[in-house]
Amino acid sequence: MKEDVLFKKTPFGGFDRVEVISYIHQLKATQQKYKVLIDEKEKANLKLSRDLEDREIQVEQLRKDIKENEKMIVDLQAQVEKLSAEKAQLERRLGETGDGGADLAAETVKMCDDLVETASETAKKLVNAAEDKLNDAQKRIDKVVEKLENNDKTKPEDAKKLLKKLLKELKK
């Protein structure tokens, strides 16, 4: 905007009123534009300030995470060193035993095979015993059914007693 403004002079002295008022309106409009621009800039500045604060908080959290991760790395490196030492010690012991490691593995496999064989035999015995009980029960049931079919003098109460007795024996 111009610093020095020249207004038309009127024939009776002074300045042209319309021109002065027009200039004042122009100044007010320009001032309003600048106020809007200033408000927009202040809002943008406030938003950027908030964003900056958020970023600073994030940066601080990341720094904490980095410190924790560095500590974790140190701990893990110590564990790796410890495990490496244990591995080396075990490898030395295995080397000292010579073929002992292979013998130990073979012995372990044989023991496992023996356990599996024993378990299989025991399972077969249990299955055979169960089958024997079932066969015996089937024979008894067949006798009861035969007596009932022959209209022997078997009473229904006697049949019930026989079946209950049979069930008790099967539950053992």
Is the pTM higher than 0.75? The answer reads no
Q: Write the CB contacts of 20 (distance below 8 Å, at least 6 apart in sequence).
A: 7
Q: pLDDT in tens for each of the 172 residues of the chain?
A: 546 776 666 666 677 788 889 999 999 999 999 999 999 999 999 999 999 999 999 999 999 999 999 999 988 998 988 888 888 887 787 777 666 566 667 777 778 888 888 888 888 777 777 777 777 777 777 776 666 666 656 666 666 666 777 777 666 6
